[in-house]
């Protein structure tokens, strides 16, 4: 017999429940407003049974058993007949609005997106642990229920190796930009940690576990900064469909349960070595003092304040009246605002001032001094390269790269490659000012 259109059965009764206004329809499924047996407002998800009534009802019963604050609650599952057609239904709690309605007005802020991501990822982890697959992770299925963010649950099916991670990654990109996600390349324009988070969900090894590791990792920012507080939930991002225009307070912690946060394993966690830097500086000072006293002569020109005395310069004097040239501060100093070295005054008297040799000029037989600015230390090269790629996207002028003093572990994420001491400290200061960790340091590696 002919099954009427969904909007044609508004006002009919199914198993004692009145089908109110049609809220949405998608093929053989439709949502209607209704009133539950307790007299409270509810939503009725109705499924057209196509010779699979028992299978659909069993699937909904399995979905109703999955309990999580981030999943839309199914209060009752049943079946009935309407116009001689068999229908299966799920009686669900009401909701205020969907994420689709919010995104029609504007994209979400990073803080709002993180709040939505926390709730959905936690809910999907519970779904996956129950051996189920969602399959409809999109903006229309993200619901604002009071102050909580919930994911529809009437679509859960048995999981056969599928993962909801790619759909969640696409939803995060859509929420932040208002555009449809097409490839991993799209994620490069997103702020941290969402660029890495989306790639973890959309790459070849995409998984919810990979996305959780990214979301739980400490942010790549100044070490003294604190994590941003959770943003208002979806229902606060736009006026509620019930007419309330005032933003709601942030959802209580129970709304988005704080599942155990797993930190990066020790191989992927940045480690700093300030004691090594201090020891290297002390050793450098001792070597320079010994070298200076060993080559000291009565007529030695006074070195620039703050720099180690240079070795004997060429016997060829500079032209009379021309002051010695200052050591250049390098690329980092010229582009990032580091102070230039002060030029010394010309020597008095008839004897011309000798030209100053480079500060790092080694003596005969000595090793060459090469300085690096170290931001992070890793035991795995791939982890170091991943961090360098992330930093390059945010701080291209700092030229992040991977450097290994020994050719094997540890692998250092350095800024700008090898340079002299003055350039290294100028780049270190510029990196800290740009937002890099405050314990970024400069260290000498002899070659």
Is 87 contained in some domain? yes
pLDDT digits (tens, 9 = 90+) for 384-431: 888 888 888 888 888 899 988 888 888 899 998 888 988 888 889 888
Q: What percent of the chain has pLDDT over 90?
A: 42
What's the rounded Cα separation, in Å, for the pair 164 and 171? 11
Do 42 and 162 have their domain in common? Answer: no
pLDDT at 335 over 50: no
- Statement to judge: residues 287 and 413 lie in one domain: yes
Whether residue 405 lies inside any domain: the answer is yes
Q: Are 212 and 263 in contact (CB under 8 A)?
A: no
Residues 283 and 152 in one domain: no
Run of H or E including 121: helix 110-129
Specify whether 278 is located in the same domain as 400: yes
Of the three residues 63, 92, 121, the one that is the final residue of a domain is: 92
Residue 307's pLDDT is 39
245 inside domain: no
What stretches of 184-224 show up as alpha helix (H) in DSSP? 194-202, 208-216
Q: For the domain that residue 88 is a member of, what is the CATH number?
A: 3.30.200.20
Q: Are residues 219 and 278 in the same domain?
A: no
**Chain segment 84-129, per-residue pLDDT in tens:** 889 999 999 999 999 999 999 999 999 999 999 999 999 999 999 9
Q: Do 22 and 45 lie in a common domain?
A: yes
SS3 helix, strand, coil % of the chain, rounded to 5? Answer: 35, 20, 50
Residue 11 maps to a domain = yes
Which residue has better confidence, 123 or 239?
A: 123
CATH number where 192 lies: 1.10.510.10
My answer on whether 133 and 209 are in the same domain is yes
Does the model's pTM come out above 0.75? Answer: no
Same domain, 128 and 184: yes
pLDDT in tens, 299-317: 444 443 333 444 443 334 4
**148, part of any domain:** yes
- Ranking 355-364, 369-378, 393-402 by mean pLDDT, the lowest is 355-364
Give domain status of residue 62, yes or no: yes
Q: Which of 214, 237, 260 is the last residue of a domain?
A: 237
- CA–CA dist 416, 388 (Å, integer): 11
Domain total in the chain: 3
Stretch 434-439: mean pLDDT, rounded?
82
Residue 186 and residue 166 in contact, taking contact as beta carbons nearer than 8 Å = no
Confidence tier at 3 by pLDDT (50, 70, 90)? low
Residue 84 shares a structural domain with residue 116: no
CATH number at residue 424: 3.30.70.1070
Residues 147 and 82 in one domain: no
What pLDDT, on the 0 to 100 scale, is given for residue 2? Answer: 56
Q: Which tens digits make up the pLDDT trace of 168-216? A: 999 999 999 999 998 888 888 899 899 999 999 998 889 999 999 999 9
Q: Which long-range contacts (CB under 8 A, 24 or more apart) does 196-202 make?
A: 196/390, 197/117, 197/169, 197/172, 198/169, 198/172, 198/173, 199/169, 200/165, 200/169, 201/165, 201/166, 201/168, 201/169, 201/172, 202/165, 202/166, 202/169, 202/170
Tell me the residue range of the domain where 47 lies. 6-92
Please tell me which residue, 283 or 276, carries the higher pLDDT value.
Answer: 283
């Amino acid at each position: 017999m002919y099954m009427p259109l969904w909007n044609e059965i508004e006002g009919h009764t199914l198993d004692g429940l009145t089908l109110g206004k049609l809220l949405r329809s998608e093929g053989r499924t439709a949502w209607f407003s209704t009133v539950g047996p307790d007299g409270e407002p509810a939503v009725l998800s109705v499924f057209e049974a196509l010779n699979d009534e028992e299978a659909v009802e069993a699937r909904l019963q399995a979905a109703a058993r999955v309990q999580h604050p981030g999943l839309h609650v199914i209060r009752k599952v049943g079946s009935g007949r309407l116009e001689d057609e068999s229908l299966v239904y799920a009686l669900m709690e009401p909701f205020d609005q969907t994420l689709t309605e919010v995104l029609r007005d504007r994209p979400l802020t990073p803080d709002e997106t993180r709040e939505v991501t926390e709730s959905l990822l936690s809910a999907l982890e519970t779904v996956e642990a129950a051996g189920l697959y969602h399959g409809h992770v999109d903006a229309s299925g993200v619901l604002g229920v009071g102050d909580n963010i919930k994911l529809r649950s009437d679509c859960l099916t048995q999981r056969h190796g599928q993962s909801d991670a790619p759909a969640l990654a696409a939803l995060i990109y859509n929420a932040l930009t208002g555009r449809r996600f097409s490839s991993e390349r799209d994620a490069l324009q997103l702020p941290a940690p969402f660029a890495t988070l989306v790639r973890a969900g959309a790459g070849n090894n995409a998984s919810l576990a990979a996305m959780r590791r990214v979301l739980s990792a400490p942010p790549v920012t100044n070490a003294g900064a604190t994590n941003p507080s959770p943003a208002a939930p979806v229902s606060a991002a736009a006026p509620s469909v019930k007419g309330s225009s005032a933003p709601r307070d942030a959802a209580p912690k129970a709304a988005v349960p704080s599942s155990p946060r797993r930190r990066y394993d020790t191989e992927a966690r940045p480690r700093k070595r300030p004691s090594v830097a201090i020891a290297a500086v002390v050793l450098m000072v001792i070597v320079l003092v010994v070298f200076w006293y060993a080559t000291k002569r009565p007529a030695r020109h006074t070195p620039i304040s703050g720099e180690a005395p240079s070795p004997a310069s060429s016997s060829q004097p500079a032209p009379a009246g021309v002051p010695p040239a200052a050591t250049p501060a390098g690329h980092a100093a010229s582009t990032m605002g580091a102070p230039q070295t002060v030029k010394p005054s010309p020597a008095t008297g008839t004897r011309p001032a000798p030209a100053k040799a480079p500060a790092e000029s080694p003596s005969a037989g000595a090793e060459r001094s090469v300085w690096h600015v170290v931001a992070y230390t890793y035991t795995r090269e791939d982890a170091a390269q991943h961090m360098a790629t992330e930093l390059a996207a945010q701080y291209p002028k700092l030229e992040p790269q991977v450097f290994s003093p020994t050719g094997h572990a540890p692998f250092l994420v350095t800024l700008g490659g090898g340079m002299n001491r003055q350039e290294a400290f100028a780049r270190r200061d510029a990196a800290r000012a740009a937002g890099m960790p405050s314990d970024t340091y400069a260290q000498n590696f002899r070659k």
